[in-house]
Amino acid sequence: MDVKKIYIDADALLDGHFKLSSGNHSQYYLQSAKVLEDPKTAKLLAEALAVKIKASGLEIDTVCAPALGGLIAGFALATALNVRSIFAERVNGEMDIRRGFEIAEGERVLICEDIITTGGSAMEAAKVIESLGGKIVGVAALANRGFCKHENSNIETKPNCKLPQDIPFFTLKDFTFEIFAPNACPLCKDGSEAIKPGSRGN
């Protein structure tokens, strides 16, 4: 499966000059929601991710997605794995489990995101699950920005990766782009202006 082509065809891998939420600039930006706009594509990607997870032999009771980004990927993956689907959400900035979702003692939970950058939101959701008695058995994401090492990968985990090294991380594709501080950005030097992804016109 050519995951990169699927992202490009869905306009989910943008090529231009972008200002990231960190303040840094990049030529590329992953607009993950766009690849899930077509439910058939979402199903296809989630099923491919489920194949990798099943092949590892990992046993899972529940998929938990950090809202908002992980919602669709999490639901599609839970469908493909035929397990329960729940989500964590931010309340006043703090990740929480609401909506009447309950976690059984020792319940085996996989955290699912659309994309893992450093894994910060995933680990916030994991902490809440663990505080309720659940056990985090793995992390999954459709796309990986290349800071965290996934199963069967040769890339090195970068220091800013927040995922623990003792649980497996499954992904379909590493999207590793160079990022630049604004004062060292070659695209700025060429005279173009960085735009905020998601704003009108991209």
Instruction: Name the site residues for Zn ion (rule: CB under 5 A).
Output: 25, 185, 187-188, 194
Nearest approach in angstroms of CB 145 to Zn ion is: 18
Please calculate the CA angle 183-193-15 and round it to the nearest 5 degrees: 100
| Cβ nearer to Zn ion, comparing 22 with 56 | 22
Tell me the sheet residues that pair with 110. 63, 138
Mapping DSSP to helix (H, G, I), strand (E, B) and coil, where does residue 59 land? coil
| Cβ nearer to Zn ion, comparing 92 with 183 | 183
Contact 158, 150 (CB under 8 A): no
| Cβ nearer to Zn ion, comparing 25 with 173 | 25
| Cβ nearer to Zn ion, comparing 77 with 194 | 194
| Closest residue to Zn ion using C-beta atoms | 185
Distance in angstroms (rounded) separating the CA atoms of residues 153 and 8: 23
Nearest approach in angstroms of CB 20 to Zn ion is: 10
| Strand ranges of the sheet holding 169-174, from the earlier edge strand across to the other edge | 94-96, 84-91, 62-66, 108-116, 135-144, 169-174
Structure letter (DSSP) for residue 80: H
| Cβ nearer to Zn ion, comparing 103 with 194 | 194
Dihedrals phi, psi of 191, to nearest 5 degrees: 100, 0
Indicate the pairing of strand 13-19 with strand 25-30: antiparallel
Structure letter (DSSP) for residue 195: B
Nearest approach in angstroms of CB 198 to Zn ion is: 17
Q: Which of 126, 1, 136, 138 is nearest to 56 (CA)?
A: 138
| Cβ nearer to Zn ion, comparing 122 with 194 | 194
